[in-house]
Amino acid sequence: MQQSFSGSSEAISHMESLFGVPRPELLELLDSADQLRLRTHGCHPASRVLDHTAIVGLATGRNKHIEAAVWRSVACDAPLLVPAVALATALGEIQEVLHPLIDAVTAMPSAWCLDFDRQTAFRVAKLISAHGDAVDLSYASAIVTAQRFNTPLLVTSRDTTVPTQLGVLVDETPPVPGVA
């Protein structure tokens, strides 16, 4: 199933075929938020860590903000970090017919699917132990990845108290009126 792209222009064309071009208002909001994050936190503009809820939102087309954030990461050749645990969790929650869409996104040149190594396992276990039911394995792996790379965490339908308490930036770009 794994796709391959020869460069970012081919990847951008493929993203356009999957999602279309995001509305300019969304891209402007993302750009503004990214520039602020760069100035205040030194984050790479356009880079994101995808939690499993963001992957599900992307696959199901329920959240145009996520589509725009992913599209912008690919267009800017900025790292799009996908913890393997979050990817597996999302794939388990969506219909199998949507798997090729997620495969295409994670095959983009700027997408990094990150394995769960020993060091990450200890950091994730410590986070789960400290926060109990507020953080499951998938969410903890995304939070640890965001901490490690100083990259905003892109989530939907999650309580962002834990990552915010830990100093993790959460992508909270305000919604554009009329856009889900």
pTM: 0.79
Tell me, yes or no, whether 174 lies in a domain.
no
Number of H helices, E strands in the chain: 9, 4
Domain tally for the chain?
Answer: 1
Query: For residue 97, what pLDDT band results from cuts at 50, 70 and 90?
Result: very high
pLDDT above 70 covers a percentage of the chain that reads 77
Query: For residue 96, what pLDDT band results from cuts at 50, 70 and 90?
Result: very high
Tell me, yes or no, whether 4 lies in a domain.
no
Query: For residue 138, what pLDDT band results from cuts at 50, 70 and 90?
Result: very high
Q: Which two tokens stand for residue 100?
A: 């090729």
Q: How far apart are CA 31 and CA 33, in angstroms?
A: 6
Tell me, yes or no, whether 1 lies in a domain.
no
Query: What range defines the domain where residue 124 resides?
Result: 9-165
Compute the average pLDDT of residues 122-150: 92
Compute the average pLDDT of residues 64-73: 82
Tell me, yes or no, whether 41 lies in a domain.
yes
What does DSSP say about strands 80-83 and 111-114: parallel, antiparallel, or unpaired?
Answer: parallel
For the segment 1-35, what is each residue's pLDDT rounded down to a tens digit? 445 444 567 766 766 777 777 677 767 776 777 66
Query: For residue 40, what pLDDT band results from cuts at 50, 70 and 90?
Result: low
For the segment 155-170, what is each residue's pLDDT rounded down to a tens digit? 887 777 888 888 887 8
Tell me, yes or no, whether 173 lies in a domain.
no
Tell me, yes or no, whether 149 lies in a domain.
yes
The pLDDT of residue 159: 78
Say which DSSP state 156 is in. S
Tell me, yes or no, whether 121 lies in a domain.
yes
CATH of the domain at 138: 3.40.50.1010
Tell me, yes or no, whether 2 lies in a domain.
no
Per-residue CA distances from 64 to 36, 38, 61, 69 (Å): 21, 23, 7, 9
Query: Is a pLDDT exceeding 70 seen at residue 78?
Result: yes
